[in-house]
């Protein structure tokens, strides 16, 4: 320790001498001095300098934009080693004691910290949309942009065991527009995985494994358009798919993809729905005066028919499952939207309530007789209802179904045609309501639920809806 004191004293003295000479007007600090013989090297203003030990003019050795620190003379005094930060990292360099170009001796790379990027999350709400399977046993939904499928069980059963949920997609992009095939074997959706929304269809990789027990799924791309493809839906027989492209082109393609049939070009997305027999598509679209009307067009292409023909807006049509009626929301009286509808055949429009009651009772008895005569193991699909439309002055048969103080939202008809559900802004919140087919017997189904999607199950006994918290 005693032997080092003279050296320390000497270095401090040299630094003081330099402060009084060459750096008298500089803001730089003198650091890291090292002596060899009659010369001292040190750092000032993040560069290397040398000067006589006895004091005098200091000479700059480096002018790099990076910084230098910790200079040391070589044993013979001909070179100086130092630490330089030229590329963001600290490396060892060497330079001639007379100056020149530094030579890199090491390449050190900062370490990368390993982080666990797997995020495990349990979600009980937060769904953006959902789709009920045709048999009512499964629900597909989207959370955080990915598609999931879960089983539907009663509340009592869920207290014993939660239903299994399978993740169908896991992409950085978002999926949307869910639609089941009528047989429940395929799930249609839109995805931006290619950089823009196109249509895809998924199914379990193993056809014998149920959806909720599958870990792998096969996904097939159906469209490859430069525009966005979305809002897709299978036809009732599963042979075709209708969807919207870009700003508002309504298009139909085969279920496996292929030749496109353009049904209409609109400046805004048309809200549409297949007829129960798949021969027609009903949609709402705006004209050049921004007035929305309800139209029916053949699914194979052809001339569209204006059903509503009203100067105010008529929106989002829905077919009754038996194909006898079309319902929608319209702003026809005052400033609010109500539920309106039309019987597609004049004969149905002219029926009395007693005649409707008899028709439904006769239908129920026939269905029961068919079930009694049929084989319990017979899983043959029921025939699709044939939709017949009497277009002659159809718009004159349009009638009002609901009349609440606030706006009513999209209407849907129960499978038996006897009940119509819709949302309404009434009594301080938006909730689900139901009315009888003739508009009577109003019932409030939810309280402060703010439903965003809603649908009957196949039996018409249960209504599934998505609330504003994303809870199904």
pLDDT tens digits along 234-252: 999 999 999 999 999 999 9
Instruction: Indicate the pLDDT class of residue 14, thresholds 50, 70 and 90.
Output: very low
Mean pLDDT of 75-81: 94
Whether the per-residue pLDDT at 310 is higher than 60: the answer is yes
pLDDT higher than 50, residue 16: no
In percent, the amount of the chain with pLDDT more than 90 equals 62
Confidence at residue 323, expressed as pLDDT on a 0 to 100 scale: 95
Average pLDDT over residues 400-405: 91
Q: Is residue 330 within 8 Å of 340, Cβ to Cβ?
A: yes
**pLDDT at residue 460 greater than cutoff 70:** yes
- Give the pLDDT of residue 123: 67
Q: What percent of the chain is predicted at pLDDT more than 70?
A: 89
pLDDT band at residue 380 using 50, 70 and 90 as cut-offs:
low
- Average pLDDT over all residues of the chain: 87
Report phi then psi at 213, rounded to 5.
-105, 5
Residue 161 in this model has a pLDDT that exceeds 90: no
3-state secondary structure of 4: helix
Q: How far apart are CA 134 and CA 275, in angstroms?
A: 16
Q: Is 70 exceeded by the pLDDT of residue 15?
A: no
Closest Cα partner for 132 from 141, 142, 124, 143? 141
* Mean of pLDDT values over 128-155: 91
For residue 156, give both structure tokens: 């009592």
Per-residue pLDDT, 381: 63
Lowest mean pLDDT among 26-35, 168-177, 331-340: 26-35
User: Which of 79, 20, 29, 8 is CA-nearest to residue 55?
Assistant: 20
Question: Tokens in use for 227?
Answer: 């525009």
The string of pLDDT tens digits covering residues 427-443 is: 788 999 999 999 999 99
Cβ burial of 88 (10 Å; 0-12, 13-18, 19+) is exposed
Model confidence at 128, pLDDT cuts 50, 70, 90, reads: confident
Q: At 40, give phi and psi (nearest 5°).
A: -125, 140
Among 63-72, 170-179, 227-236, 378-387, the range scoring the smallest mean pLDDT is 378-387
Q: Starting at the edge strand that comes first in sequence, how are the strands of the sheet with 138-143 ordered?
A: 127-132, 138-143, 146-151, 165-167
Strand residue runs (E) in 375-414: 399-400, 412-413
85 pLDDT band, cuts 50/70/90, is confident
Could you tell me which of 252, 234, 236 has the C-alpha nearest to residue 244? 252
Give the pLDDT of residue 236.
Answer: 96
Token pair belonging to 275: 């007829």
Residue 423 burial class via C-beta count within 10 angstroms: exposed 0-12, middle 13-18, buried 19 and up: buried
Residue 274: closest CA among 246, 247, 255, 288? 255
Q: With a cut of 50, say whether residue 65 has pLDDT above it.
A: yes
Give whichever of 8-22, 106-120, 198-212 has the largest mean pLDDT.
Answer: 198-212
Spatial separation of the C-alpha atoms in residues 145 and 203, rounded to whole Å: 18
Render pLDDT for 213-224 as a digit per residue (tens, 0 to 9).
999 999 999 999
Question: What is the rounded distance in angstroms from the CA atom of residue 285 to the CA atom of residue 295?
Answer: 8
pLDDT (average), residues 95-99: 93
Output the pTM of the full model. Answer: 0.73
Instruction: Give the phi and the psi of residue 366 in degrees, each rounded to 5.
Output: -65, -40
174-195 in b/e form (b: 16+ CB < 10 A) is bbbbbbbbbeeebbbbbbbbee
Residue 349 above 90 pLDDT?
yes
């Amino acid at each position: 320790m005693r032997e080092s004191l003279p050296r320390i004293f000497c270095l401090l003295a040299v630094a003081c001498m330099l402060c009084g000479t060459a750096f008298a007007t500089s803001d730089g600090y003198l650091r890291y001095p090292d002596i060899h013989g009659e010369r001292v090297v040190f750092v000032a203003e993040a560069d290397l300098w040398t000067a006589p030990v006895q004091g005098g003019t200091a000479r700059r050795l480096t002018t790099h934009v990076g910084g230098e620190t910790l200079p040391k003379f070589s044993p013979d005094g001909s070179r100086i080693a130092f630490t330089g930060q030229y590329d963001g990292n600290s490396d060892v360099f060497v330079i001639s004691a007379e100056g020149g170009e530094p030579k890199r001796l090491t390449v050190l790379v900062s370490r990368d910290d390993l982080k666990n990027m797997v995020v495990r999350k349990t979600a009980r709400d937060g769904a953006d949309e959902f789709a009920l399977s045709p048999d009512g046993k499964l629900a597909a939904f989207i959370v955080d942009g990915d598609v999931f499928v879960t089983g539907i069980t009663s509340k009592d059963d869920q207290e014993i065991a939660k239903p299994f949920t399978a993740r169908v997609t896991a992409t950085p992009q978002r999926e949307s527009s869910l639609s089941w095939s009528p047989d429940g074997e395929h799930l249609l959706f839109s995805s931006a995985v290619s950089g823009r929304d196109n249509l895809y269809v998924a199914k379990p990789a193993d056809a014998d494994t149920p959806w909720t027990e599958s870990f792998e799924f096969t996904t097939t791309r159906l469209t490859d358009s430069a525009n966005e493809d979305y809002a897709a839906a299978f036809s009732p027989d599963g042979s075709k798919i209708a969807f919207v492209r870009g700003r508002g082109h309504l298009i139909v393609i085969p279920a496996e993809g292929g030749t496109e049939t353009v049904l209409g070009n609109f400046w805004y997305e048309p809200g549409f729905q297949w007829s129960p027999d798949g021969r027609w598509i009903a949609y709402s679209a705006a004209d050049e005066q921004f007035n929305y009307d309800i139209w029916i067009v053949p699914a194979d292409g052809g001339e569209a028919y204006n059903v509503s023909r009203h100067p105010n807006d008529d929106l989002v049509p829905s077919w009754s499952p038996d194909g006898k009626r079309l319902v929608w929301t319209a702003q026809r009286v005052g400033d609010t939207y109500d539920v309106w509808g039309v019987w597609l055949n004049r004969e149905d429009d002219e029926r009395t309530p007693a005649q409707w009651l008899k028709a439904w009772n006769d239908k129920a008895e026939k269905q029961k007789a068919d079930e009694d005569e049929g084989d319990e193991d017979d899983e043959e699909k029921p025939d699709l209802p044939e939709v017949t439309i009497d277009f002659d002055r159809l718009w004159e048969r349009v009638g009002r179904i609901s009349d609440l103080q606030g706006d009513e939202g999209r209407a849907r008809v129960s499978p038996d045609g006897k009940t119509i559900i819709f949302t309404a802004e009434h009594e301080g919140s938006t909730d689900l309501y139901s009315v009888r087919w003739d508009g009577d017997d109003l019932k409030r189904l939810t309280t402060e639920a703010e439903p965003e999607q809603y649908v009957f199950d196949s039996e018409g006994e249960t209504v599934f809806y998505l609330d504003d918290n994303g809870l199904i």
